[in-house]
Structure 1
Amino acid sequence: MTPAGWYQDPLETAELRWFDGAAWTEHVATGGRSYTAAVTGA
Structure 2
Amino acid sequence: MPKKNSEPMWCVVMFDLPVGTKKQRSEANRFRNHLFDLG
Q: Same fold (TM over 0.5)?
A: no
TM-score range, shorter chain: under 0.3
- Answer with 1 or 2: which has the greater Rg: 2
TM-score by structure 1 length? 0.17
TM-score by structure 2 length? 0.18
Higher strand share: 1
Task: Identify the structure with bigger relative contact order (alpha carbons < 8 Å, sequence gap 6+).
Answer: 1
Higher helix share: 2
